[in-house]
Every structure is written in structure tokens, then in C-alpha cells.
């Protein structure tokens, strides 16, 4: 349960890309509990509807739209539908793709697939929302979900890391360009917020993979949903109205200690194959 007041985001219309699963789903459910009118989009309507059902069962408000952000024309169609009802207050660029793999094994198609959703989709979505805010003389906020340690580089996730670094550059650049128009841009860099399944994939050979993950984090615990919801909600709220162009890390200080990849350098071909097939 969030530690913020239940009206903290009242009257805010917030769109989250990739809101049907993972961090996007957690933020959508949490922000709805704080009074926000949520809009989520993604490629799989079934997942989106599951999130809507959870939010509505708790008394919140949420709409779902099928949208592949790799297609700019679908982004324009989605935002036209949203603005026809009322303008957005907040865009959260959350959707991303990733392969945990040795970089030399990635095909050009695999690299392009990650960059197209993790970078280009977020860029196109930001430009489309920004254009509408500017045309109507409205204020807006863009929160982009980045990655802890992106400034140091991250092995075995190179296409995603490149994408997140570029999204940070976009955040800093547009904070300057669009600031005079009343538009804020901020980055949120989460560390590990694992599900049990994610932890098991990263540490398949131990009995307690979540405890094993925590050993790499100075605070000795992984992130919890409330940690994520409270910080992201603050950053898009009026309480953070003087924060723009910055990336805020929420990672238990793990980004300061470098990438958590030591064990992977010793993985055998068989272990990489198991990860790929899983």
C-alpha cells in the first residue's frame, strides 16, 4: 500500500505505455489508488484488461487501448482518441523490450527489435504528446522509465542500455527545449524489482534466488512495489513541479557498485541456452 494520501494524484490523467504487465502494471494500479484517472496501452489487450479489472475492483478508474508504439501512426491514433475526451496531464514511457544475452550472439533483427520499442517508441510517443500540449498551450509531464546504472554501461543488455541512455539524453534535451512551454521531463531509473520468476531465471541454481539477488544490493533487499509507486507518483505530481531534466535512481545504491553481471561472465554455453529457451 502506498504511503501517500489517497487523493495525491486526484484529477490527473496519466497514460502508461506497457501498462498491462511488469513495472507499468504496478504503477498503473498504484497511481489509480491515489486518485489518478489511468490510461494504459500495449500490444496485448488481454493483459491490459486484467489490469483494468484489478483497478476497477479497487474502486479506481482505468481505460485500456491496444497500441503498438513501434508504429507511429498507431501512436497518433491513440492520442487523438485520448485528447478527444480530455488532454493528458502525464505520459509515462514504460514499454521496453530486452534480451539478456551475449552481445555477439545477437542478430541485427534482435537489436533493432529492442531499440524500436525501447527508444524509438518512447521518442515517438513523447513527440506526439508534446506536440499536442504545445499546440493547445497546455502543461504536461513526461516520465521515462530508464535503468539503474545506465551511465556506467550494462553488459549482456547492450541494446536496451543504449536505448535507455538515449532516452536520458532526450529527457535532458527536451527539458531545456520544452521547459519554457511548461512541460517537464524526468527519468526514473529503477534497480531490481523482481518477480519470483525473474529471480529464478537469473539464479536458476540456488534454492532462494530472491535472497541471492539481494546480496548484490547495498541495502540488501530488492525494490518493493510501494517504493516504485511512491517515487513515480511524486515525480509526476505538482509537488515535483521544479524537477526537470534529471534522472532519479531507485535501486538501493546498486547502481553505484556497477552491473550485477559477475556470475554471468562465468556462465557456460549450456546456461545461456537454458536462459534463452526459458
Residues 53-97: pLDDT tens digits?
A: 999 999 999 999 999 999 999 999 999 999 999 999 999 999 998
Measured CA distances, 248 to 117, 161, 243 (Å): 22, 16, 10
Per-residue pLDDT at 85 = 96
Is pLDDT at 259 greater than 60 in this prediction?
no
| CATH superfamily ID and name for 13-277 | NAD(P)-binding Rossmann-like Domain (3.40.50.720)
Q: How confident is the model at residue 263 (pLDDT cuts 50, 70, 90)?
A: low
pTM of this structure: 0.90
The pLDDT score that the predictor gives to residue 213 is: 78
Domain positions in the chain are: 13-277
Which pLDDT band, with edges at 50, 70 and 90, does 152 fall under?
A: confident
For position 155, what pLDDT does the model report? Answer: 86
Residue 113 pLDDT greater than 80, yes or no: yes
> How far is it, in rounded angstroms, from Cα 82 to Cα 92?
14
Determine whether 5 is exposed, middle or buried from the number of CB atoms within 10 Å of its CB (0-12, 13-18, 19+): exposed
Per-residue pLDDT at 244 exceeds 80: yes
Q: Is the pLDDT of residue 271 over 90?
A: no
Average pLDDT score over residue span 210-229: 87
Amino acid at each position: 500500500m502506498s504511503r501517500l494520501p489517497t487523493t495525491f494524484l486526484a484529477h490527473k490523467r496519466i497514460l502508461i505505455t506497457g501498462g498491462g504487465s511488469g513495472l507499468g502494471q504496478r504503477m498503473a494500479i498504484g497511481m489509480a489508488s491515489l486518485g489518478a484517472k489511468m490510461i494504459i496501452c500495449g500490444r496485448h489487450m488481454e493483459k491490459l484488461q486484467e489490469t483494468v479489472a484489478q483497478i476497477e475492483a479497487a474502486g479506481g478508474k482505468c481505460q485500456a487501448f491496444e497500441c503498438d508504439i513501434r508504429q507511429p501512426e498507431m501512436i497518433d491514433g491513440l492520442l487523438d482518441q485520448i485528447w478527444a475526451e480530455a488532454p493528458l496531464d502525464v505520459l509515462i514511457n514504460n514499454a521496453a523490450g530486452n534480451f539478456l544475452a551475449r552481445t555477439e550472439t545477437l542478430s541485427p533483427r534482435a537489436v533493432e527489435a529492442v531499440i524500436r520499442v525501447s527508444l524509438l517508441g518512447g521518442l515517438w510517443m513523447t513527440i506526439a504528446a508534446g506536440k499536442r500540449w504545445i499546440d493547445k498551450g497546455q502543461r504536461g509531464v513526461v516520465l521515462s522509465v530508464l535503468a539503474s546504472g545506465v551511465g556506467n554501461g550494462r553488459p549482456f543488455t547492450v541494446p536496451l542500455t543504449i536505448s535507455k541512455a538515449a532516452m536520458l539524453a532526450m529527457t535532458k534535451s527536451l527539458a531545456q527545449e520544452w521547459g519554457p512551454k511548461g512541460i517537464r521531463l524526468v527519468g526514473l531509473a529503477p534497480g531490481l524489482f523482481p518477480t519470483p520468476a525473474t529471480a529464478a531465471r537469473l539464479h536458476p541454481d540456488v534454492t532462494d534466488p530472491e535472497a541471492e539477488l539481494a546480496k548484490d544490493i547495498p541495502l540488501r533487499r530488492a525494490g518493493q512495489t510501494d517504493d516504485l509507486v511512491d517515487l513515480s507518483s511524486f515525480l509526476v505530481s505538482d509537488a515535483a513541479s521544479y524537477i526537470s531534466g534529471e534522472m532519479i535512481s531507485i535501486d538501493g545504491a546498486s547502481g553505484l557498485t556497477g552491473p550485477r553481471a559477475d556470475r554471468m561472465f562465468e556462465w557456460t554455453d549450456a546456461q545461456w541456452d537454458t536462459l534463452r529457451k526459458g
